[in-house]
């Protein structure tokens, strides 16, 4: 065993692409790989024999050629002492483990809150700078009854939504147009690769000069940052279209629009959804950042006010609120993604497993 | 001929954009917000002298490097632990989800209180924002290990450090690299923001100073410099990634060569 040994199991992105570390993405990747691998096997058939032995050793035969099959290890229980159960026993254990997981997760959250509560109370950290958890949470609940708080949340969400809609629409349209032609892709590649790593916050001074504390300041940053996330994913997706499917569509006489609708779009949709999910998180970060630094209305501006006014309890309460908002956005995006991609095999196999 | 063609593909659009920019700004009345390309180039050379580089840019970059190194170290070590131990993952997952969802810039005021205004605060902010993609990707990478390989190493009695070195790390490497790539851009953003919020030196601070004194061309030159830093970072990362994942890309090519 050397580290040259490849592993089937690393369903790493074929090209480094942002995966928020979600299980779904790895599933998609694994599926692509498995489909790809099995396709290759059929197509290559006996050409494999011409490959030298070392390569064959390197070519791992997929352990799960059928993605819907339960993942059983070839090495059955016995030598390893790790049983690979299947059927009802496995389902029972799985459900029991689900309950256990939830319980442990709650325990972890509780442990975090208790630690936070005790740090200032025991005086390890100055309580003036870190109020106990109970104080911050009480303040958060007090906020929930205040109109000003909801107004700030509304402002934040409005900027987030508007920026997302603009960025996703522009990126999707451009992505489909550029991706569908090799010439255009090569023509724009250098510019895209150059503009993408430019940090969006570099534009903060420009936004301040152009728009001051108006909402457009935040929009400029949000749109710039989210746009690239979505565009890159759409380009990957369009490039991933299966040649055989494309040629089949052509020979069946499907026109360009029908091909876009029935071949390119379904292939690209999972990538597009990934891009949108990543952009959603980035857009929230930039909305709050713009409010914090520039002072556009919203939660970030409230935090800056609380900090400069020295009301630290309120500041921690607002930080908790932004965290909850982030969790909520992540959850909603996941749900939307599952709904939209319910036909996609990566989502379907999750139910089976 | 083919060489010429590929060079043309690379430079055509940037040159076209530069020409449009020049034509849009050079003629007609002087635009207050957008300098001409020639003026910007002159300003860039005048503004970012060696003296200013050592005073503002290098400290920023040092903080950035420390932050990135810290995130990679913490992310991979913690990710290996959490990914390998099931109960630990169950215990920490919701808490990590919550922390990841907090926009990292919000923590700048919090950390200013707890740590004070200094280099360590800025490094802490960078680590706190940039560690999540690496941590979560490492956890996923460890979990998605091939069961057969895992069982094989167990059967052969390969354990402990060797198991991590020869099985877990290579398995998770592509995922880890994807995480690091995301972290780089987050780290750069946080470096700038932390300097805009509370600092008396640094790249972010300088750019905001230019903007406040309405030194528009200087401000643009700062934006360009940040862009260049971002592009150079992404270029270096691609080189490193190609080295680290050489075996992996080779494998993919063999698999895809149908």
The tokens for B81 are 């632990």
Contact between A205 and B219 using a beta-carbon 8 Å cutoff: yes
Query: B114–A129: do the CB atoms touch at under 8 Å?
Result: yes
Q: What percent of chain A has pLDDT over 70?
A: 70
A16 touches chain B (CB under 8 A): yes
Q: Cα(B181)–Cα(A229) distance, rounded to whole angstroms? A: 13
Q: Please report the pLDDT score of residue A157 as a whole number.
A: 94
- With 0.85 as the threshold, say if the pTM is over it: no
Express each pLDDT in B31-52 by its tens digit.
Answer: 677 787 777 888 888 877 777 7
* A78-82, A150-154, B73-77: segment of lowest average pLDDT: A78-82
Closest CB from A82, A109, A197 relative to B233: A197
**Six-digit token pair at A285?**
């970060």
pLDDT score recorded for residue A241: 86
Angstrom CA distances, B120 to A125, B66, B126, stand at 17, 10, 10
Angle at B33 between CA B31 and CA B39, to 5 degrees: 75
Please count the other Cβ atoms lying within 10 Å of the Cβ belonging to residue B34.
Answer: 16
Q: Which pLDDT score is estimated for A35?
A: 42
pLDDT at B72: 95
Q: Using the predicted structure, report yes or no on whether residue A161 has a pLDDT greater than 50.
A: yes
- Which has the higher per-residue pLDDT, B226 or A4? B226
Chain B contact for A113 (CB, 8 A cutoff): no
Distance CA A121, CA A101 (A): 30
C-alpha–C-alpha distance, residues B61 and B43, integer Å: 22
CB A238 within 8 A of CB A176: yes
Residues A102-135 have pLDDT tens digits of 888 899 889 988 888 888 888 787 877 888 888 8
CB A32 within 8 A of CB A14: yes
What's the rounded mean pLDDT across residues B179-198?
Answer: 87
B7 interfacial to chain A (CB closer than 8 Å): no
Task: Look at A153-162, A331-340, B35-44, B215-224 and tell me which has the smallest mean pLDDT.
Answer: B35-44
Does the distance separating the beta carbons of A303 and B147 come in below 8 Å?
no
Q: Helices A299-308 and A312-340 meet at what angle, rounded to 10?
A: 160
| pLDDT band, very low/low/confident/very high, at A10 (cuts 50, 70, 90) | very low
Residue A88: pLDDT band (50, 70, 90) is: low
The pLDDT value given to residue A13: 41
A4 or A336, higher pLDDT = A336
Q: Which two tokens stand for residue B9?
A: 């593909």
Nearest to B95 by CA among B130, B137, B54, B132: B132
Q: Which two tokens stand for residue A108?
A: 């972890």
Query: How many Cβ contacts (< 8 angstroms) between chains A and B?
Result: 284
Residues 292..331 of A with a Cβ closer than 8 Å to B: which? 292-293, 300, 303-304, 307, 312, 315-316, 319, 322-327, 329-330
The pLDDT value recorded for residue B65 is: 93
Question: How far apart, in Å, are the Cα atoms of A304 and each of A127, A207, B113, B114?
Answer: 20, 19, 13, 16
Closest by Cβ to B155, choosing from A20, A79, A303: A79
Which among A66, A74, A55 has a CA at the least distance from the CA of A6?
A: A55
For residue B171, the chain A residue with the least C-alpha distance is A10
Per-range mean pLDDT, top range of A8-22, A314-328, B105-119: A314-328
CB proximity B255 to A under 8 Å:
yes
Cβ separation A205–B210 shorter than 8 A: yes
Tell whether A182 lies on the interface with B, counting CB pairs under 8 A: no
**Closest residue on chain A to B11 (Cα):** A190
pLDDT tier, A256 (very low <50, low <70, confident <90, very high otherwise): confident
List pLDDT tens digits, range A291-328. Answer: 998 888 999 999 988 888 888 888 999 999 999 999 99
A-chain residues near B102 (CB < 8 A): 319, 322-323, 326
Q: Using the structure block, give the residue that is written with the tokens 């354990």.
A: B159
Whole-angstrom CA distances from A121 to A128, A285, B109 are 11, 32, 21
CA dist A166 and B159 (Å) reads 52
Kindly report the length of chain B.
258
The region of weakest confidence among A92-106, A176-190, A255-269, A316-330 is: A92-106
In chain B, the residue whose alpha carbon lies closest to the alpha carbon of A83 is B151
What distance in Å separates the CA atoms of residue A243 and residue A13, rounded to the nearest whole number? 20
Nearest to A80 among B101, B155, B220 (CB): B155
The CA-CA-CA angle for residues A19, A203, B52, to 5°, reads 110
The answer to whether A105 contacts B90, with C-beta atoms less than 8 Å apart, is yes
Task: Please give the Cα distance from A57 to B68 (Å, whole number).
Answer: 37
Q: Is A30 on the interface with B (CB under 8 A)?
A: yes
- Residue A59 pLDDT class (50, 70, 90 cuts): very low
Both tokens assigned to A28: 């998609």
Nearest to A224 by CA among A164, A294, A291, A301: A164
Q: How far apart are CA B68 and CA B76, in angstroms?
A: 12
Residue-level pLDDT at A87: 58
Question: In a 10 Å sphere around its CB, with 0-12 CB exposed, 13-18 middle and 19+ buried, how is residue B222 labelled?
Answer: buried
Query: Count of H helices and E strands in chain A?
Result: 14, 0
Q: Is B104 helix (H, G, I), strand (E, B) or coil?
A: helix
Q: Band the pLDDT of B257: cuts 50, 70, 90.
A: low
* pLDDT per position as a tens digit, A195-248: 888 888 888 888 888 888 888 999 999 999 999 989 999 998 888 888 898 899
Instruction: Kindly state the average pLDDT of the residues B142-167.
Output: 86
Residues of B in contact with A20 (CB under 8 A): 133, 136
pLDDT at B91 over 80: yes
Buried/exposed A299-325: b ≥16 CB within 10 Å, e otherwise = bbbbbbebbeeeebbbbbbbbbbbbeb
| Closest in A12, A14, A55 to B175, CB measured | A12
In the predicted structure, residue A251 carries a pLDDT above the cut 70: yes
Q: What is the mean pLDDT of chain A?
A: 76
pLDDT band at A179 (very low <50, low <70, confident <90, very high): confident
More confident residue, A13 or B230: B230
Contact A209 B211 (CB under 8 A): yes
The per-residue pLDDT for range A258-304, each reduced to its tens digit, is 988 899 899 899 899 989 988 998 899 999 999 998 888 999 999 98
Structure tokens at A294: 């520039």
């Amino acid at each position: 065993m050397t580290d040259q040994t490849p592993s089937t199991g690393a369903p790493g992105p074929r090209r480094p692409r942002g995966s928020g570390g979600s299980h779904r993405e790895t599933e998609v990747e694994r599926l692509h790989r498995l489909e790809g691998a099995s396709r290759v096997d059929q197509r290559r058939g006996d050409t494999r024999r011409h490959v030298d032995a070392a390569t064959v050793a390197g070519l791992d035969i997929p352990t799960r050629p059928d993605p819907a099959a339960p993942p059983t290890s070839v090495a059955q229980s016995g030598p390893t002492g790790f049983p690979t159960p299947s059927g009802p026993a496995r389902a029972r254990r799985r459900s029991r483990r689900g309950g256990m997981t939830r319980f442990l997760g709650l325990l972890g959250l509780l442990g975090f809150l208790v630690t936070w509560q005790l740090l200032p109370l025991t005086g390890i950290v100055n309580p003036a700078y870190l109020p106990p958890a109970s104080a911050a949470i009480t303040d958060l609940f007090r906020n929930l009854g205040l109109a000003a708080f909801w107004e700030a949340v509304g402002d934040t969400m409005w900027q987030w939504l508007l920026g997302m809609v603009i960025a996703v629409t522009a990126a999707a349209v451009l992505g489909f147009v550029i991706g569908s032609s090799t010439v255009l892709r090569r023509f724009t590649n250098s510019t895209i690769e150059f503009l993408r790593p430019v940090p969006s916050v570099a534009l903060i001074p420009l936004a301040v000069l152009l728009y001051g504390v108006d909402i457009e300041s935040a929009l400029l940053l949000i749109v710039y940052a989210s746009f690239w996330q979505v565009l890159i994913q759409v380009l990957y997706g369009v490039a991933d279209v299966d040649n055989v499917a494309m040629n089949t569509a052509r020979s069946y006489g499907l026109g360009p629009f029908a091909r876009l609708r029935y071949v390119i779009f379904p292939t690209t949709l999972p990538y597009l959804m990934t891009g949108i999910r990543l952009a959603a998180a980035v857009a929230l970060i930039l909305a709050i950042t713009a409010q914090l630094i520039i002072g556009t209305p919203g939660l970030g501006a409230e935090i800056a006010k609380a900090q400069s006014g020295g009301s630290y309890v309120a500041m921690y309460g607002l930080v908790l609120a932004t965290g909850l908002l982030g969790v909520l956005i992540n959850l909603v995006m996941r749900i939307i993604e599952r709904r939209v991609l319910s036909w996609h095999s990566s989502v379907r196999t999750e139910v089976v497993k | 001929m083919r060489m010429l063609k590929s060079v043309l593909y690379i430079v055509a659009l940037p040159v076209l954009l530069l020409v449009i920019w020049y034509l849009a700004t050079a003629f007609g009345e002087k635009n207050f917000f957008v300098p001409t390309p020639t003026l910007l180039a002159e300003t860039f050379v005048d503004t970012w002298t060696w003296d200013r580089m050592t005073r503002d840019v290098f400290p920023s970059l040092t903080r950035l490097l420390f932050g990135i190194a810290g995130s990679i170290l913490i992310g991979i070590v913690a990710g290996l632990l959490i990914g390998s131990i099931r109960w630990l993952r169950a215990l920490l997952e919701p808490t990590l989800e919550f922390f990841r969802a907090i926009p990292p810039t919000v923590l700048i005021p919090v950390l200013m209180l707890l740590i004070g205004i200094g280099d360590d605060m800025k490094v802490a902010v960078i680590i706190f924002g940039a560690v999540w993609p690496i941590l979560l990707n490492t956890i996923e990478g460890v979990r998605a290990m091939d069961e057969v390989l895992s069982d094989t190493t167990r059967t052969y009695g390969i354990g402990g450090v060797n198991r991590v070195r020869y099985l877990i790390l290579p398995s998770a490497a592509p995922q880890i690299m994807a995480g690091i790539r995301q972290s780089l851009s987050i780290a750069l953003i946080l470096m700038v923001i932390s300097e805009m919020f509370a600092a008396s030196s640094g790249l972010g601070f300088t750019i905001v100073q230019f903007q406040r004194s309405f030194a528009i061309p200087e401000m643009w030159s700062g934006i360009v410099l940040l862009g260049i830093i971002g592009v150079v970072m992404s270029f270096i990362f691609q080189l490193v990634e190609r080295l680290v994942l050489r075996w992996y890309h080779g494998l993919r090519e063999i698999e895809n060569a149908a």
